[in-house]
Amino acid sequence: MPAPDPRFDQGTRKLFVAGGVVAILLLVGVTVWPLLTPNPVGTPPGGANPAKSSDTSVGTVGSGITPAQRAGESQVGKNDPAGQEDASGGRARAIKQSSGPLELNPQQHQQLHDIISHQANPPRTTQADFELMIGVSVPRQAELQDLPPEIAQVMNGYWGDQYLLVQDKMVIVDQHSRRIVAIVPNVA
C-alpha cells in the first residue's frame, strides 16, 4: 500500500480549520447581530399611535403596555347600531375598516363632559385589559353600561350602544359585537 500524500492531509486539515472558523463567525454573528440592531417588528409605520409617552397607553396586557388610540370613531358603529355580528366577523371588520378621526366641535365635547360628570355611577377603570383601538373586542368581564340617550344625541349616533370610562376617555362599545366603535378623550 502506498504512503499517504502529506499534501492531501495538509489540504484537508486547512479545509476543516477554515470551515470551523466560518462556523464560529456565523454563530457569533447570529447571536450578536440582534443585540446591536433595533427591532422594527411590531412598530407600525403610521397606523395606531406608536408613541411611547404615558398619555397614549392605558393599561397592561401581560407584562407590556397596551397601545392606545387617542380618539376615533367608526361610521358603521355610529350609523348602524342595530347591525348583528355574524360568524365570519363581518361586522367587526366593517367597524374597523370604517374607522376615522373623531369629529366633535368644542361645544359637543363640553356637552359630553357635562353629561358624564352628572352620571351617578358610570362604569370606570383606570386600566383596560384590552387594546383601546376602534374595532377591538371588549372582554365580557369588562363592566359596561347603556349609553345615555343624551350622549347619543350629542354624537348623532350610537343609539342603544354601551360605554365605559377608561381614565379620562369614554369608550363606546357596539351592543352586539362588543367592539369599540368610538373613543372620546378628555370627557371624564
E strands, the chain, in order: 57-61, 64-67, 72-74, 99-100, 124-125, 145-146, 162-166, 169-173, 180-184
Domain ranges for the chain: 1-37, 54-184
Q: Is the pLDDT of residue 145 over 50?
A: yes
Residues 48-96 have pLDDT tens digits of 444 443 333 334 444 344 456 678 888 888 887 666 666 667 777 888 8
Q: What is the pTM of this model?
A: 0.62
Evaluate whether 170 touches 187 at the Cβ level (below 8 Å). yes
β-partners of residue 182 are 73, 172
